Amino acid sequence: MFMSRLKSRLSRFREDTGGVVTVEMVITMPLLIWALAATYDFFEIHRHKAVREKATYTVADMFSREQAPVTDSYMDGAHDLFNSMTNDDSPVQIRVTVVVYDEDENQYSVVWSRVRGTGALAALSDAEVRSGGIPLPKMIDGQQIVLVSSLSTYNPAFNVGLENSIRVETSQFMNLRFAPQLCFETTCS
């Protein structure tokens, strides 16, 4: 008896086409506003990351073409270039690491690693490179690559259920192009 009444009421409710536009608008408008804000924030997160990936690739390419030893001022300039390309106010860190492969030991080693900017990013160590947590390509004996990583944060414009500060990390490795090794001042392999 109860189920038949419930079914009949639900079917009448489903077939009823009468309603008040104001009530429908009050119900749907917050959902539409949230969907618009969420779409904007999700698009901005992807744009934020894509800009950083392009800047990371550019800085990695810049280092891969370098033939003279890298200096502190060159590193500062690379950080400034990265900030200029990303064009925002969030703090950005970049880490440049040169990694060499030793075929006899079958392991990677860090030749040098430097960080610019303030934050959680630290210089890479041999242990971190050897742990396998950092994706590296297959290399030949004595080959060096430059690995550029960046770390920044994205703060959503709207409160749509995202974290207040989203970490955006990028990483790019590049083979050295014109020289067999890339030195930092007096640090070579």
- Give tens-digit pLDDT for 108-148: 999 999 999 988 999 999 999 998 888 889 999 999 999 99
pLDDT given at position 72: 93
Report the share of the chain in percent with pLDDT over 90: 61
Average pLDDT, the chain: 90
Do the beta carbons of residue 120 and residue 151 sit within 8 Å? yes
Residue 173's DSSP bridge partners are 147
What is the maximal distance between C-alpha atoms in the chain?
A: 90
Q: What is the pTM of this model?
A: 0.81
- Give tens-digit pLDDT for 39-73: 999 999 999 999 999 999 999 999 999 999 999 99
**Residue 150: which H helix or E strand, with range?**
strand 144-154
What is the distance, to the nearest Å, from the Cα of residue 65 to the centroid of all Cα atoms in its chain?
24
Q: What mean pLDDT comes out for the span 60-88?
A: 93
Confidence of residue 101 (pLDDT cuts 50, 70, 90): very high
Confidence of residue 22 (pLDDT cuts 50, 70, 90): confident
pLDDT given at position 46: 94
Whether pLDDT at 189 is above 70: no
3-state class (DSSP) for residue 185: coil
Confidence of residue 74 (pLDDT cuts 50, 70, 90): very high
Exposed / middle / buried, residue 122 (Cβ in 10 Å: 0-12, 13-18, 19+): exposed
> Would you list the domain boundaries of the chain?
2-175
